[in-house]
Structure 1
């Protein structure tokens, strides 16, 4: 089983790999040898070599998280309060929150433009998930459904 490590720890690990590559660049080792030795792709080593040639070892340092969230934790608290009011309160006809509606709410409330994928990651990061309505049709006859499952479904299979 693999140990799951935090983002900062992974970032430091990757930075150490880049520094090791930098030391090997200084010794004049070939890209393929370095890639094999560090167990990374040659393409990565080539990119690091270009970075190293332009800025030295300092250029191989980590620049921080790859992507900081556009919506801060404080803003997300406000967003949750707005979401709790419901879509109708914000001018939509029904009571369904969609990614595009949440995206529009974020743009209106905070002036932040983000993609639907970014909205999904934001909601997921804060414990939200998509949901299907649990309601059943009023006309649903549970007894008839059970009979159908017992008698008809085995024949269909």
Structure 2
């Protein structure tokens, strides 16, 4: 007995194995983004369809396509357009978070909640808070008596 070619199984080697699908059994089921919250999603041997739907941020019958621009979340049903994003930047297809942050007066992560600070609020994302903290520490140190650059008193 010789066995089946790679990715094939069955008595006549004419069925995709449990991790592949497609006409030539060449597409891997493990590359999909199926919703696994209620257990493992089965892989349809022909279409690759996820029987439990897609994880948030993914779409298509086999859950291999990101949500289209301007959409995010479960079933790509939530729109980024109705939120208050800084510089109209795109939102993350998984979480809806904006890369650059929110307009003044709105809070991260989704820029829908008013901050209560009006136009004076400052929303820093990414490495900006760390850089700002380091700069403030450096300025404080330079102005202190411990700094070699401080004026003699």
TM-score w.r.t. structure 2 length?
0.29
Structure with greater proportional helix content: 1
Structure with greater proportional strand content: 2
